[in-house]
Amino acid sequence: MPTDLSPVDGALSDALAAERSRQRETLSLIASENHASEAVLAAQGSVLTNKYAEGDPGDRYYGGCEHADTVERLARERARELFGADHANVQPHSGTQANLAAYQALLDSGDTILSLSMSHGGHLSHGQPYTMVDEHFEVSHYGVDEATGRLDYDAVEARAEAVDPDLIVSGYSAYPRQVDWERVQTVADAVDAYHVADIAHLTGLLAADVHPSPVGIADLVTGSTHKTIRSGRGGMVLCDEALADAVDTAVMPGCQGGPLMHNVAGKAAGFAEALTPEFELYARQIVDNATALADRLGERGFELVSGGTDVHFVLVDLRETHPDLTGERAEAALESVGLVANKQTVPGDHRSATVGSGLRIGTPAVTTRGFDATATERLADAVADVLDAPDDEAVANEVAETVADLCSRFPVYGDTTAASV
Ligand SMILES: *Cc1c(COP(=O)(O)O)cnc(C)c1O
């Protein structure tokens, strides 16, 4: 039901149209981004934005919820089927909110959380400084092995024994390898701690069985719903029946008021798409493309954290090969030719998070546009050309043409998309 905003609000309409053009004419290589379908956009831009629905389906604090109930039940049932979980709470406004609810459900103020440090690939919501998590809990970190870029689970266990945490967080923002959830669970068991597995980045890969799942292993599984799974923007918590009530109460009233029912509708729409065989092919192609990207960048002489990838992105470590090029500068040079990626610290980085010596390059969004391995190799060469000569105007012009060609061969959103409203 998209309507034209332009007669009503020109300034807003222009900004949204400009953003639609930006998404069509550049390539998003941000590992946490994707392009949601027209169905998801329509669900999110629906009249459900008007509805208060505090509570659970069939048990609300407001009247008029029968259709909101149907929508939320669809989202819950589809999430349970996708991830094989007993219970799914689809109300968290974001992945961060899902993590806050997980801590609220399992911990008391002052308890100790053990999580991966952010400079090694952890997330803000795992207790970094300046967050409420850090303020209300004792937070300690483990790291990856700086020589291999991989988790050394024996070292994580030793760290857990030293810290004696109440809760261990696994699941990360910038860890390019498979996570051994069972091994983390043995660490949690050894120190009698809860285990929260945060699948924010991995939702789509897990839904398609392209990466092993922590459901049924960890106590709680949290995630974002708009990353690899490309459903409506938000978060979710998955658990078994024993923790269902604690989770629901932790989400509302623990951390939130009324759920964003239009986003819950977007989750339902995206989860339905993720249950199709086409989605499984899509998720496989995301990883195949990331592997093609890793291989080609390796041939071009780049160093990758951990030497490659098992997932949907690569993490380029510029320190040895391009010592004068910071992640910040690399990000700006790429953006100037329409390649939108993000700077990142790499394990052992001497630069700060706002500068960084690394670059995270993801394939979920370009794979949604239809990229195959051949197109991804062209993309890898374009990235490598820019990083090898970030100040060369001739190279920039040539790469900008390649990007324009790739965008027109692999289009996203037509002129009449709901994204145009
Ligand atoms: C993206 C992310 C989140 C949540 O992000 P939101 O922006 O709050 O949805 C949580 N954990 C990890 C590991 C993430 O990468």
Can you tell me the mean pLDDT for 340-368?
96
Angle between helices 277-299 and 261-274 (to 10 degrees): 80
Does the domain at 42-274 match CATH 3.40.190.10? Answer given as: no
pLDDT at site 421: 42
Q: Whose CA is nearest to atom 5 of ligand 1?
A: 95
Pocket test for ligand 1, best of 100, 126, 198 (most atoms within 8 A of CB): 198
What's the whole-number mean pLDDT along residues 324-353? 97
Percentage, residues of the chain above pLDDT 90: 96
pTM: 0.96
- 137-166: average pLDDT: 98
Mean pLDDT of the region 126-144? 96
Cα–ligand 1 centroid distance for 417 (angstroms): 27
Cβ of 123 closer than 6 Å to ligand 1, yes or no, is yes
* pLDDT the model gives residue 416: 52
Query: Residue positions in the annotated binding site for (6S)-5,6,7,8-tetrahydrofolate?
Result: 122-124, 241
Binding residues: 122-124, 241
Give the pLDDT band of residue 420 (cuts 50, 70, 90): very low
Residue 3 has pLDDT above 80, yes or no: no
Ligand 1 centroid to residue 172 C-alpha, Å: 8
Q: What is the 3-state secondary structure (H, E, C) of the chain?
A: CCCCCCCCCHHHHHHHHHHHHHHHHCEECCCCCCCCCHHHHHHHCCHHHHCCCCEECCEECCCCCHHHHHHHHHHHHHHHHHHCCCEEECCCCCHHHHHHHHHHHHCCCCCEEEEECHHHCCCHHHCCCCCHHHHHCEEEEECCCCCCCCCCHHHHHHHHHHHCCCEEEECCCCCCCCCCHHHHHHHHHHCCCEEEEECCCCHHHHHCCCCCCCCCCCCEEEEECCCCCCCCCCEEEEECHHHHHHHHHHHHHHHCCCCCHHHHHHHHHHHHHHCCHHHHHHHHHHHHHHHHHHHHHHHCCCEEHHHCCCCCEEEEECCCCCCCCCHHHHHHHHHCCCEECEEECCCCCCCCCCCCCEEEEECHHHHHCCCCHHHHHHHHHHHHHHHHCCCCHHHHHHHHHHHHHHHHHCCCCCCCCHHHC
Q: How far is the CA of 123 from the centre of ligand 1 (A)?
A: 7
239 closest CA partner among 196, 185, 293, 292: 196
Fold of 278-409: Aspartate Aminotransferase, domain 1 (3.90.1150)
Question: Is 32 touching ligand 1 by the criterion CB < 6 Å?
Answer: yes
pLDDT exceeds cutoff 70 at 149: yes
pLDDT at 4: 81
pLDDT in tens, 177-233: 999 999 999 999 999 999 999 999 999 999 999 999 999 999 999 999 999 999 999
Supply the mean pLDDT for the chain.
Answer: 96
Q: Is the pLDDT of residue 154 over 50?
A: yes
Q: Which atom of ligand 1 is nearest to the CA of 227?
A: 1
Answer whether 225 contacts ligand 1 (Cβ < 6 A): no
Atom 6 in ligand 1: which residue has the minimum CA distance?
95
* Ligand 1 centroid distance, CA of 125 (Å): 7
CB of 201 within 6 A of ligand 1: the answer is: yes
Q: Does the pLDDT at position 417 exceed 70? A: no
pLDDT digits (tens, 9 = 90+) for 258-311: 999 999 999 999 999 999 999 999 999 999 999 999 999 999 999 999 999 999
Can you give the pLDDT at residue 64? 98
- 95 within ligand 1 shell (Cβ under 6 A): yes
Atom of ligand 1 nearest to the CA of 235: 9
The atom of ligand 1 lying closest to the CA of 224 is 9
Say whether pLDDT at 414 is over 80. no
Instruction: Tell me the domain boundaries of the chain.
Output: 42-274, 278-409
- The pLDDT assigned to 415 comes to 61
